[in-house]
Amino acid sequence: MLKVGMPRALFFYEYYPFWKTFFEELGAKVIISERTTKTIVDEGVRVCIDEACLPVKVFHGHVIDLKTKVDYIFIPRLTSIAEGEYICPKFGGLPDMIKSSIEGLPHIISTEINVRDSFSRIFNSIRDIGKYFCPHTGKIIKAYKKATQAYLNNKQQFRGGIPGWIIDKNSKGQTIQNFNYLNVGLLGHPYNIYDSYVNMNIIKKLEKSMVNSITPEMLDEEVLNKKALTLRKKMFWTFGRRILGAAMYFIERKDIHGIIYIMSFGCGLDSFICDMVERRAREAGIPFTVFVLDEHTGEAGVDTRVEAFIDMIRWRSRNENYVSTYG
Ligand code: SF4
């Protein structure tokens, strides 16, 4: 049985259920890299160019973790994953970066996925990827349909909390229904929010402080789109649209008590989306803070800032009834 490796980084957090089902339906075995560790980060930092953002460096580390375990590594060249939109160009350059930085790799499946003009273009990419494992187009289409269903099921699962395949086993994956908890909107790219090593376990830290983390993936796609449409200009980055849509939704909800934005150092997209969110949060008087992650971020600093932020929210809700004394 052919083994196909998926690095547990970047697009993994959005598309793992889809590709796992797709490859398995075509008779392949899917191997994912280990959860992120210090070794994985150090290895990624060692081989990757200095200028890359932390998630790209971490991706390199995950590829190294997989390279001797599989026949293929799946690194599609993602250009656009939604009609009329793009994703970060680093996703498009990923296969080339990996090939030039890491030696001794198995074959990389680097088919381009670009649905910017029409979503129907996905079929060509799916067929080309499927052909690595099965020559029959009919079977590939069947696998695609099953994979789409798995993807939608996973989206649905998010409504009840973070699915088990993402979080550590001992984390509960809080939901907004825990009434004694504070609710905080956790914004950022999925690979920053759900990689607990990279973000210093922020979801668990919040749980310990009796705070629910509500993430963009827990919200209905329709809600995200509707809220993002209220922006004066269309946001053409797919993840940016989702983050901004979620931010607008959080700001309107009376039961979201604060917003934390997790961003990567060196990410152009995060730098201006975070700024837009911050301006709107401040206008609405909702507590907001940002955590910037890079390979040097220290856990003690994150602990202190999480505690200070949550203390400030509790203090305000007790003493100021959400009316600021400073303007
Ligand atoms: S969107 Fe930002 S964090 Fe993500 S890959 Fe691009 S530069 Fe890196």
Read off the pLDDT of residues 117-135 as tens digits, 9 standing for 90 and up: 888 899 999 999 999 999 9
3-state secondary structure 278-292: HHHHHHHCCCEEEEE
Of 81, 237, 269, 291, best ligand 1 pocket probe by most atoms within 8 Å of the beta carbon? 269
Pocket test for ligand 1, best of 195, 270, 274, 294 (most atoms within 8 A of CB): 270
3-158 and 182-319, same CATH topology: yes
Q: What global pTM score does this model have? A: 0.91
Q: Are 173 and 161 in contact (CB under 8 A)?
A: yes
Look at residue 182 and tell me whether its pLDDT is greater than 50.
Answer: yes
The pLDDT of residue 294 is: 85
Burial degree of 256 (CB within 10 A; 0-12, 13-18, 19+): buried
**CB 184, CB 212: distance < 8 Å:** yes
d(CA 27, CA 53): 35
pLDDT of residue 167: 62
Q: What's at 179, amino acid-wise?
A: F
316 lines ligand 1 (CB under 6 A): no
Contact 56 CB / ligand 1 (< 6 Å) = yes
Determine the pLDDT at residue 179: 54
**Does residue 16 surpass a pLDDT of 90?**
yes
Class of 3-158 in CATH: alpha beta
Q: Where are the domains of the chain?
A: 3-158, 182-319
pLDDT band with cut points at 50, 70 and 90 for residue 172: very low
Host H or E run for residue 208: helix 202-208
CATH number of 182-319: 3.40.50.11900
pLDDT in tens, 256-269: 999 999 999 889 89
Q: Average pLDDT for residues 78-91, to the nearest whole number?
A: 93
